[in-house]
Amino acid sequence: MWNRVDRRSKWIAALLGSLLLTTYGCAAHVDPIANLPADRVNACRSSVVITFAQNQGNRPADDFVMEVARAANVALVFVRAAGPGLYVFQLDADDTDESCSLALARLRSDDRVRSVDLDQRRHALE
């Protein structure tokens, strides 16, 4: 009989230990963005269409994009090609400007960039 009670106690202890670890793990998950100070959260986040001065083929080289992004103090993540020479990127910057006008101006001032526009729904002219 003691053997049965001993096994049952071990089983209950193991179950409670698992529940405790699971509860601790769930409670310990922290959203990294939620804990950043307000001035550290990027307000400038947008999808942009970029045309480069020189044709980059189907996809611009990662090191080229990193150089352009570094010079403009932005982060660019390639999303897709939108047509010959047109590339869609996710743009992030530490600017507090939600319209990203400062980041767009910095990109436009780079000689390697022909044009930068917000990726918006376009309508055909009639």
- In this predicted structure, the answer to whether residue 37 has a pLDDT above a threshold of 60 is no
Pick the CATH number of 38-118 from 1.10.10, 1.10.20, 3.30.70, 3.30.1490: 3.30.70
- Token couple for 72: 């403009």
pLDDT digits (tens, 9 = 90+) for 84-108: 999 999 999 999 888 899 999 999 9
pLDDT at 47 over 90: yes
Residue 32: predicted pLDDT:
39
Answer whether residue 31 shows pLDDT above 50: no
Q: Is the pTM of this model over 0.85?
A: no
Cβ neighbors of 22 (< 8 A, separation 6 or more) are none
What does the pLDDT average to over 19-36?
47
Mean pLDDT across 45-57: 91
